[in-house]
Amino acid sequence: MRIVIAGMGDVGHHLAKELSKESHDIIAIDVDQQRLAYTDSMSDVLTLNGSSTSITTLKEAKIDKADLFIAVTSSEESNVSSAIIAKKLGAKKTIARIANAEYLSTENGIDFKEIGIDFMIYPEELAAHETVNLIKRTAATDLLEFEGGKLSVMGIRLDKNAPVINKTLTEVAHEYPHVDFRIVAIYRNFRTIIPSGKDKFLVNDQVFVITKPEGIEMILKLAGKENLKFDNIMILGGSKIGRMVAQLLEDSMSVKLIESDEDKTFLLASDLPDTLVIHGDGRDIDLLAQEGIIDVDAFVAVTEDAETNIITCLMAKHLGVKKAIALVDKADYVPLTQTIGLDSLINKKLIAANNILQFIRRGEVLAQTVLEGIDSQIFEYDAQPNSPITKKPVKDLDFPREAIIGGIIRKDKSYIAVGDTQINPGDKVVIFSLPSGVKKIEKFFKT
């Protein structure tokens, strides 16, 4: 595909880096030459200095030959305008990053596809839903669900009291033969491992496991975790994300939201009738103590300042809060989750980029995501008739060592993949892969 990306901030750079690995022709546009130089040094892309709203610049990028135009600059107005112009100049599909929730409303009376925008991405909403999912699945560091939860990939950090510590995967499988699960990756010391039966579980490993709904409770026990029910949540920051998290949770949980801006506090209180909105500085440990932080189950910090979010979450963990989630603005912070003692770091730009990648990879690929901070990807493929993946049992497929088949969904039932599993046409197949295995996987699903 020929893909033109406007905006080489974190979202655009991540997209360019991932897509250039897959032999797409990538053209990057930005008004900042330094950003382009950084992208050019990291990715095999063609860079173009100029504005994405300039017809001259878009024609120079040969937009009429583009299969896809992606506008992810920091300006919503530029993204919307350039996507419309690009479509009029001949781009087959367009994507625009937005910062206004009303554009996604079905009640606004505007069909954006009619005016040239095929897909809109709203990072703040995506980050809010990711945060809520992590709160509801209390013990998980990461959670991905396929086909409405028929299969789930959970990231769990192993405590020292976990029953599986110092045991190999083979030993655990023999000891718990009736549990439907498969370990698809282990993240240890900043390295992602696609495990074999001889690999051992160690303290502080972040383990990624694919399981069916009925296996989740047992998986948590094996990891030394409890899936506690959270009832009390404290949110620091009345940003768009903080507001949306409160809206999504206030009907089912007791929610407190702390905001430092007095005027914004009054607006939040009127918009969130079932949330207790408090005016104050969330960095003040006395205020947090006064508002009962030691009694809350989860603490979510989503201010505009990443350092404030990290520090207050560390304070919350020190005071005994079971789960702390911090919003960070730099993708480089995300791998530090394991080393600094936080449960989860959320980066809205990476979440947005991953959702755009899912849109691009439709076809045999039904869904795709990159786990934040982990050098790996998860795919959901549709097994086509006569494709190589359907010709032999899993153990005889000569599947690349950098990837692992986790499970399949067949009609309304889910199955964990084992050596004798036979994949049938029409099955949805969930695969975990290191970047080096992505191109090798594709050939198994080509007819």
Residue 360 in any domain: the answer is: no
pLDDT at 367 (0 to 100)? 59
pLDDT at 141 (0 to 100)? 66
- The answer to which of 74-88, 105-119, 279-293, 350-364 has the lowest mean pLDDT is 350-364
Q: What is the CATH number of the domain that holds 205?
A: 3.30.70.1450
The yes-or-no verdict on residue 255 having pLDDT over 70 is: yes
The yes-or-no verdict on residue 335 having pLDDT over 70 is: no
Same domain, 336 and 438: no
The yes-or-no verdict on residue 362 having pLDDT over 60 is: no
Same domain, 212 and 234: no
Tokens of 229: 């029910």
Q: Quote the Cα angle for 151-16-306, to 5°.
A: 75
Q: Give Dmax (Cα) for the chain.
A: 66
Residue 63 in any domain: the answer is: yes
- Amino acid sitting at position 2: R
Average pLDDT, integer, range 265-284: 93
pLDDT at 103 (0 to 100)? 86
pLDDT at 138 (0 to 100)? 66
Residue 133 in any domain: the answer is: no
374 — pLDDT class (breaks 50, 70, 90)? low
Residue pair 152/217 in contact by the 8 Å Cβ criterion? no
pLDDT in tens, 101-113: 888 877 777 888 8
pLDDT at 76 (0 to 100)? 94
Residue 198 in any domain: the answer is: yes
Phi-psi group of 7: left, alpha or beta (phi > 0 → left; psi -120 to 50 → alpha; rest → beta): left
pTM score:
0.72
* Among 35, 38, 44, CA closest to 17: 44
Tokens of 325: 């989630």
Same domain, 31 and 112: yes
Task: Say how far apart CA 325 and CA 133 lie, in whole Å.
Answer: 11
Domain tally for the chain?
A: 4
Same domain, 254 and 212: no
The average confidence (pLDDT) of the chain is 86
Q: What is the CATH number of the domain that holds 233?
A: 3.40.50.720
Percentage of residues in the chain having pLDDT higher than 70: 91
Same domain, 284 and 327: yes
pLDDT at 128 (0 to 100)? 93
* Among 381, 371, 446, CA closest to 18: 371
pLDDT at 349 (0 to 100)? 84
The yes-or-no verdict on residue 372 having pLDDT over 60 is: no
pLDDT at 140 (0 to 100)? 65
Residue 369 in any domain: the answer is: no
Backbone angles phi, psi at 439, to 5 degrees: -65, -35
pLDDT in tens, 308-324: 999 999 999 888 898 89
Same domain, 241 and 310: yes
**Which residues share a beta bridge with 276?**
256
- Residues of the domain holding 300: 229-346
The yes-or-no verdict on residue 333 having pLDDT over 90 is: no
Residue 371 in any domain: the answer is: no
Task: Say how far apart CA 136 and CA 310 lie, in whole Å.
Answer: 21
